[in-house]
Amino acid sequence: MAVAVAAPHPAAVEAAREVVARGGNAFDAALAAAGALTVAYPHQCSAGGDLVAIVRPAGGVPRAVLSIGAAAAGVDIAALRAAGDRMPFDGPQTITVPGVVAGWAAIAGLGARLALSELLAPAIRLATAGVPVSPGLRRAIAGRIDAIRSDPGLSALLLRGDDRLVQPVLAETLTAIGTDWRSFYEGDLARRLAAGLGRLGSPIVAADLAAHRAEVVPPLTRALGEVVWHAAPPPVQGPTFLAVVGADDLLAASHRARQARDARLGDPRTGPIDLDGMLAPDPGRAVAVDGAADGRRGPGTGAVRSDSAQVGPKPAGDTVAVTAVDDDGIAVTLIQSVFGSFGSGLLDPGTGLVLHNRGSSFRLEPDHPGRIAPGSRPPHTLCPTMALTGGDVLALGCQGGRNQPWILAQVAGEALGSDDLPGLLTRPRWFFDGTAVVTEPGVDALVDDAGHVQVSRLRAGRLASASDPRADGRAAVLPG
């Protein structure tokens, strides 16, 4: 079985190549690549972060996998409000329960052929033997050098003057996950992680880890002619992508959708979400959408604000996307993230995990849909998407923080039929920088903020893939 795969680092594609050669399908390829990225790209992802995916089993319908960690049951909201009107950008109070590991297990359970231990074997070897420091990682280290110097775990990993990342403790953690992934949440590994979180000052305890579950639900869908787009429901900003994809005036639609998202996105477990208001922020442009909407509609709350009004420092690095499609039509678009570059700015020495700062997206206003509450999940920027038309399938995802919906929308339509996917991803794009719209000046001046798009496709029985030149990645069609 051949598999098309795209990822932002060559080691991820090589990990996928190894498992495909052993009989793996697109599920196996995506998971092996995702595991390798937690070793090679610690500024953008970790098993100490979160995961969102859209997956399509063989002959089946797409499913959304949301493995998004919650705030601690013992979070001190009064203390956070007393400290300021926004959540801190990093530090121990921004750590939520890591969801990546449960997300890996959920995806594997939907159709992977190989055991999780086999899928993580390439990542474990990378962590043990070391992986070269990539240009993207060097830029990230320079960008957060003060935070790295202030954390013993990160400084020990990144400031040794070595050109290779060697992570023996992380290798042990990945080995334990491959043997029994549940130990991450309810076993010895969970106890060690909880102890490490406590030493770092996080309110997360063992019971919070044990309470985590990956959510597998129908995605939201929107039909544009013969093409059906799939995206994840809240607390993920999938509705924002569906609101803008195919828009005649994408920039204007994105302005409206961005405001609607900032006012309305939150965790439907915490309170009602105005899904209709996110899907159709322009009253004159109705959007017909099907999917996981039960319990996710409700009155809109809070004032509409721009990105610059509601967030602190802009996350950089933050995320990796992996896409994989095989010749049976099995497809995966998977995003895993630590949110800001190096997440919370904290690495737990006992497990080797960089811990994310997803909690920095919580709102402190008590009436906002994205408000922080015990056991609540933060508003999420991850926005994987998938398109189906006839027998063709497109898996699409990107790095890009809050800009992901419009980054993807700028390439989505042409990615379905383009004969030059690499060329499509090389074109200059625009994005919001928090205060203004910024357009890349040309192909010789591409920037990380315009996103690291990864695309894999099966069209008319032929596989193709492409990896964004803004990252360190690679794309390939791997023979089985």
3-state secondary structure of 333: strand
Non-local (6+) Cβ contacts of 54 within 8 A are 62, 63, 64, 65, 219, 230, 231, 232, 332, 333, 384, 385, 386, 395
Return the pLDDT at 288. 54
Return the pLDDT at 309. 32
The encoded tokens of residue 256 equal: 């409206």
Return the pLDDT at 314. 45
At how many degrees (to 10) do helices 168-179 and 116-129 cross?
170
Return the pLDDT at 284. 55
Q: What is the pTM of this model?
A: 0.93
C-alpha to C-alpha distance for 37 and 43, rounded to whole angstroms: 10
Q: How many residues does the chain have?
A: 480
Return the pLDDT at 53. 98
C-alpha to C-alpha distance for 44 and 319, rounded to whole angstroms: 5
C-alpha to C-alpha distance for 396 and 399, rounded to whole angstroms: 11
C-alpha to C-alpha distance for 245 and 410, rounded to whole angstroms: 8
C-alpha to C-alpha distance for 374 and 74, rounded to whole angstroms: 7
pLDDT in tens, the chain (480 residues): 999 999 999 999 999 999 999 999 999 999 999 999 999 999 999 999 999 999 999 889 999 999 999 999 999 999 999 999 999 999 999 999 999 999 999 999 999 999 999 999 999 999 999 999 999 899 999 999 999 999 999 999 999 888 899 999 999 999 999 999 999 999 999 999 999 999 999 999 999 999 999 999 999 999 999 999 999 999 999 999 999 999 999 999 999 999 999 999 999 999 999 999 999 886 555 555 565 433 222 222 222 223 333 333 444 446 899 999 999 999 999 999 999 999 999 999 999 999 999 999 999 999 999 999 999 999 999 999 999 998 899 999 999 889 999 999 999 999 999 999 999 999 999 999 878 999 999 989 999 899 999 999 999 999 999 999 999 999 999 998
* Residue 52 bridge partners (DSSP): 66, 335
Element (H, E) at 3: strand 3-7
Question: Which residue numbers are catalytic?
Answer: 319
Non-local (6+) Cβ contacts of 188 within 8 A are 176
Domains of the chain, residue spans: 3-216+312-478
List Cα–Cα distances, 452 to 49, 92, 105, 297, in angstroms: 18, 28, 25, 32
**DSSP letters spanning 284-315:** TS---EESS-TT------S----HHHH-SSPP
Return the pLDDT at 162. 85
Return the pLDDT at 161. 83
Burial of 23 (0-12, 13-18, 19+ CB in 10 A): exposed
CA-wise closest residue to 336 among 393, 272, 381: 381
CA-wise closest residue to 184 among 86, 253, 116, 91: 116
CATH class given for the domain over 3-216+312-478: alpha beta
Widest CA span in the chain? 59
C-alpha to C-alpha distance for 192 and 282, rounded to whole angstroms: 49
